Amino acid sequence: MKVLESEFKLISSTSKINRFRSIKEVCMKFYFAILSAVVLLVFGGHFYAQSITTENEEISQREYEIRKERIIKFFEKRRKRYEVVTTTKTKSGQIVDWIKPERQTPDGKLEKAPPRNLPEITKSKDEVENPYLETKLPDRLKEVLGKDEVARTELQLDQSVLGPKGTVPIVRFDLDSYLKANPNYLPKDPMEIFSKVPPPAPASNDRYYAVWQRFGDVYGGIGRINIWNTTGPVGNETSIAQVAIIRGSPMQAIEAGKIEHASFAPSKRPTLFTYFRTNGSARGDWVAGYNALVDGWIQVSRTVAPGMSLVPWESSTNGPQYSLDVEVRLWQGNWWVRAAGEWAGYYPYCKGGDAPPCDEGTLFSAAGIRDKANRSDWYGEVFDSSAPAATSTDMGSGAFANQRWRRAAYFRNILYTWSPTQAWWWGSGSISATDSACYSGDGPYYSSDPNWRNWFYYGGPGKEAAGCF
């Protein structure tokens, strides 16, 4: 245990393990860069050349128009399955289709959301005691750590863009923007459009992380994510802040939080996202994917849906701070996601969305997350398309973690659901970062203050920082 900066006098559980990059860190990064280059030259040169040729393939104007028409019809066909009742447009420019919720399942029935009075906040008998969860914040720190404001969606703020009663929203993929951004080349298979969006990945060599992990049986996670709008990721890269509930090999997971990427909002601004995976890195309908872009997500809320912009709720340096509440919970066989105070929807027990017994089998396996998970992560993530070279995409606010309150991004009030009806505060472990010269973590810290039971800071500017390469 240590003291958090002499002026604060707050007890923390760990040392700042990521404040400076060690010599070992530099050597390891150099080693993997050389190794990657060798592997690429020896084993992957032909494949790499094929990939580049395909991506930059010169297609005729006639072929472009054929593919464009195919893509337009593909999206029209997917919308027709929902039988869209009406369409509205938000102030930020997002197009929202309103559908009857019963159109999402074969039998027209939706599952009931978890009750509001659960989970009960109580310790598990196996929980290691952490006395600092009962430590009062020093007066001087109370003056520094203010209370952040609650982030909401545009539909919660503007009733004029709501659809008719009895309908729920599906945020439409911005096809017009996609076509404008790709005037010379379009994929032959429209499903490739979704595969070009980098998925969140709790383990990968082309990503940077600042993460707090917990291992052991869990049934969900609860916490708050500080929302910032940076200058936007570089190219096709992503900047993410999220929770991931994980189990199995190949990996199965439910992930939710904030994402910045060109495909989800104008100017790459922050949006709410969900992601599910049933078979490692495979993607497709009832396999894996973002939001409602592939089949798997069942929308329930009228005002909170994955893909919605978080534009009005952006924190500013030395200014107001905003945080989004996020929860993932296994309830009666279904994995539910709550955000902005509402249960947005769920990933069903049965593949296809029908009720048990499942005609097509279960969406997740018994060895995966069907009945529970065994790992939960809260983390910032940057997908680096130029790996192993560093990127300039910002993580969090773009400031390093040691800048702290009103400058660095943070997660706070994190709980793990240790039974279907009970949860407790995270009270152990440390923050790790992939490369603290590019993006860092600071914490975790604890107190008895109801707004700051636990928290950690994370983020950084990437290759703009000295020593990040």
Task: Give the type of residue at 127.
Answer: E
Tokens of 212: 């707090």
The predicted structure's pLDDT at residue 266: 65
DSSP assignments along 421-446, one per residue? TEEEE-----EEES-TTTSEEEEEEE
The predicted structure's pLDDT at residue 203: 62
The predicted structure's pLDDT at residue 248: 96
User: What are the residues whose beta carbons fall under 8 Å from the beta carbon of 184, sequence distance 6 or more?
Assistant: 59, 64
Tokens of 349: 């027990």
- C-beta of residue 313 within 8 angstroms of C-beta of residue 304: no
**pTM summary value:** 0.86
pLDDT by residue for the chain (469 residues), tens only, comes to 333 433 343 434 433 333 333 443 444 444 434 433 433 333 333 322 233 334 446 689 999 999 999 999 999 999 999 899 999 999 988 999 999 999 999 999 999 999 988 899 999 888 888 999 999 988 877 777 878 889 999 999 999 999 999 999 999 988 887 888 788 889 999 988 877 678 887 666 688 999 999 999 999 999 999 999 887 788 888 899 999 999 999 999 999 999 998 777 766 889 999 999 999 989 899 999 999 999 999 999 999 999 999 877 789 999 999 999 999 999 999 999 999 999 999 999 999 999 999 999 999 999 999 999 999 999 999 998 888 889 999 999 999 999 999 999 999 999 999 999 999 999 999 999 999 999 999 999 999 999 999 999 999 999 999 989 8
